[in-house]
Amino acid sequence: MSERKAVKFYRSYWEVAMELNDKDRLAFYDAVMLRQFTGQEPTLTGMAKFAYISQKHSIDAQVKGFEDKTKIPLQGGTQGGKQAPLVQEKEKEKVEYTIDERKLKFADTLKPFLELYGKEMLNEFYAYWTEHNPKGKKMRFEMEKAWGIERRLATWNKNVQERNKSKETEEPKELLLARKLGLC
């Protein structure tokens, strides 16, 4: 267990505590110190719990900052347990793939749909959605807030079908021009 020597005590803690009666104020102060020095989540009730919850984000941010800086988690942690330090470090070490590697991964996600939509449509879909942003760091599909490959392919296919139907019903451009000129 790491011995934490000091914590920041924000004015907001004091302002909230001053609204409490003496008993609840003491319980609130004890809860803040318990979490800050041991990492344990306090068990509170009533107004003391309400006061603690109002400051929880700030308190948890301090605990996380200490743990990140020292690479040693405080004992206790949040209810339901904490992730092991090894897991936390692995998350920090997430590998950044090159754009070409990400393109290959995207192409692999299209393979299951080859029989359903055909090679030509999937190639057009791939070319459109793997277009780079101006800096070349992200592709079009990576910039979308929501992305579901099945739904995107279904919509793409529907749009292709509609374009094909409109092409079949359009008159040739020469005939259209002749009608406008009054030649037909």
Decide if 81 is inside a domain.
yes
pLDDT over 50 (residue 1): no
Same domain assignment for residues 104 and 174: yes
CA pair distance 24, 30, nearest whole angstrom: 10
Mean per-residue pLDDT for 76-86? 51
Determine the structural domain holding residue 74 and report its residue range. Answer: 11-92
Return the higher-pLDDT residue of 176 and 69.
Answer: 69
For residue 80, what pLDDT band results from cuts at 50, 70 and 90? very low
Same domain assignment for residues 34 and 68: yes
Same domain assignment for residues 76 and 136: no
Amino acid letter for position 165:
K
pTM value surpassing 0.75: no
Average pLDDT, the chain: 82
Helix axes 119-129, 149-169, angle to 10 degrees: 110
Q: Which of 48, 66, 92 is the last residue of a domain?
A: 92
For residue 106, what pLDDT band results from cuts at 50, 70 and 90? very high
pLDDT over 90 (residue 108): yes
What DSSP string describes 132-153? BPTTSSSBGGGG-SS--HHHHH
CA pair distance 138, 106, nearest whole angstrom: 13
Report the domain count for the chain.
Answer: 2
For residue 184, what pLDDT band results from cuts at 50, 70 and 90? low
Same domain assignment for residues 120 and 88: no
Same domain assignment for residues 128 and 65: no
pLDDT of residue 91: 58
CA pair distance 31, 48, nearest whole angstrom: 9
Same domain assignment for residues 17 and 76: yes
> Which residue in the block uniquely carries the two structure tokens 């929501």?
146
CA pair distance 13, 59, nearest whole angstrom: 9
pLDDT of residue 94: 67
Q: Which of 92, 118, 146 is the last residue of a domain?
A: 92
pLDDT of residue 48: 87
Same domain assignment for residues 115 and 151: yes
- Report the percent of the chain where pLDDT is more than 70: 81
- Report the percent of the chain where pLDDT is more than 90: 30
Decide if 3 is inside a domain.
no
CA pair distance 50, 110, nearest whole angstrom: 50
Tokens (6 digits) for 157? 């296919």
Mean per-residue pLDDT for 60-75? 80
> Which residue in the block uniquely carries the two structure tokens 């292709």?
160
Same domain assignment for residues 106 and 83: no
Decide if 141 is inside a domain.
yes
Q: Which of 66, 92, 118 is the last residue of a domain?
A: 92
Same domain assignment for residues 50 and 25: yes
Amino acid letter for position 136:
G
Same domain assignment for residues 109 and 69: no
pLDDT over 80 (residue 75): no
